[in-house]
Amino acid sequence: MASFHLTRLYREYENLFSPGIFICRRCNSPLYSAEAKFHSGCGWPSFDEEYPGSVERHVDMDGRRIEILCAHCHAHLGHVFEGEGFTEKDTRHCVNSLSIRFISEGKEMPPVLDAD
Domains, the chain, with CATH or none: 2-104 (2.170.150.20)
pTM for the model stands at: 0.87
Per residue in 91-115, pLDDT tens? 999 999 899 999 999 999 999 998 7
**What CA–CA distance (Å, rounded) separates 100 from 31?**
8
Q: Find out whether 53 and 95 touch, Cβ atoms under 8 Å.
A: no
Question: Is 94 among the residues known to form the active site?
Answer: yes
Determine which one of 24, 27, 70, 94 is catalytic.
94
Per residue in 63-96, pLDDT tens? 999 999 999 999 999 999 999 999 999 999 999 9
Q: Which candidate, 11, 6, 5, places its Cα nearest to that of 94?
A: 11
Per residue in 18-72, pLDDT tens? 899 999 999 999 999 999 999 998 888 999 999 999 999 999 888 999 999 999 9
**What CA–CA distance (Å, rounded) separates 103 from 18?**
10
